[in-house]
């Protein structure tokens, strides 16, 4: 499951409903720019944003009172919409060597994006989940810290890396992922997101990085 996490850069993970993203704000119409092997037109981007909006299920008061849970499993179950999302996430970035997916729902999107781009896929995982030597990056939560890791040999110097995740909340995890890419000597080509919780201001944590969301709420 996922609910908007206080002070972190993504959402709080739980058990039983993987594929959801959380937020507590009413939805507002906003389609971020999308990349692609060739970027889609504004009209196509707006149409996809509305399709995504229609396939995200709102679950009120889950996992706790006052949270409006955004469940993306209906979108993932729709083959046409899922394919369109992957195409849009993959579009407009130029040559990409690696696609970095952020644990855990980011894996669902990043792996097929890597296939679309004929690029490698790199999992960015929570601390202690990777078997070989890693780089670790700790980032601040509202009440404590969290750490993510990537294998030290995941990126080659000069690789152009696309960071993919399902949701942008306060930006901490995406920022930490970009820092890991750069520590490896690679370049961050951009950060692409399915759903941006714009009311949490996550873009401000990402500095000069190019950030694109298919839908912002």
Catalytic residues: 105, 142
* Cβ density class 70-100: b for 16+ within 10 Å, e for less: bbbeebbeeeebbebbbbbbbbbbeebbbbb
Apex 173 CA angle, 130 and 197, nearest 5: 140
Which stretch of DSSP H or E encloses residue 51? helix 42-55
User: Torsion angle, CA of 151/177/214/28, rounded to 10 degrees?
Assistant: 140
For residue 164, give every residue at least 6 positions away whose Cβ sits within 8 Å of its Cβ, in sequence order, or none. 89, 99, 100, 101, 102, 106, 109, 110, 113, 191, 192, 193
| 205 neighbors 7 (Cβ within 8 angstroms) | no
Place of tokens 């990537």: 150
In 3-state terms, what secondary structure has residue 132?
coil
| 184 neighbors 161 (Cβ within 8 angstroms) | no
Give the chain's radius of gyration (CA, Å): 16
């Amino acid at each position: 499951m996922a609910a908007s996490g206080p002070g972190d850069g993504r959402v709080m993970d739980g058990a039983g409903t993987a594929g959801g993203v959380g937020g507590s704000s009413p939805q507002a119409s906003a389609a971020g720019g999308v990349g692609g092997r060739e970027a889609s037109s504004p009209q196509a981007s707006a149409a996809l944003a509305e399709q995504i909006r229609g396939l995200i299920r709102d679950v009120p008061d889950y996992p706790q009172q006052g949270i409006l849970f955004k469940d993306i499993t209906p979108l993932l179950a729709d083959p046409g919409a899922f394919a369109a999302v992957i195409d849009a996430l993959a579009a407009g970035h130029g040559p990409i060597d690696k696609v970095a997916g952020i644990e855990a729902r980011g894996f669902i999107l990043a792996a097929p994006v890597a296939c679309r781009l004929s690029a490698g896929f790199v999992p960015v995982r929570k601390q202690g989940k990777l078997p070989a030597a890693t780089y670790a990056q700790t980032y601040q939560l509202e009440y404590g810290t969290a750490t993510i890791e990537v294998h030290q040999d995941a990126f080659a110097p000069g690789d152009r890396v696309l960071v993919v995740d399902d949701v942008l909340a306060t930006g901490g995890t995406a920022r930490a992922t970009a820092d890991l890419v750069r520590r490896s000597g690679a370049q961050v080509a951009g950060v692409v997101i399915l759903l941006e919780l714009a009311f949490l201001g996550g873009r401000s944590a990402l500095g000069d990085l190019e950030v694109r969301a298919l839908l912002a709420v």
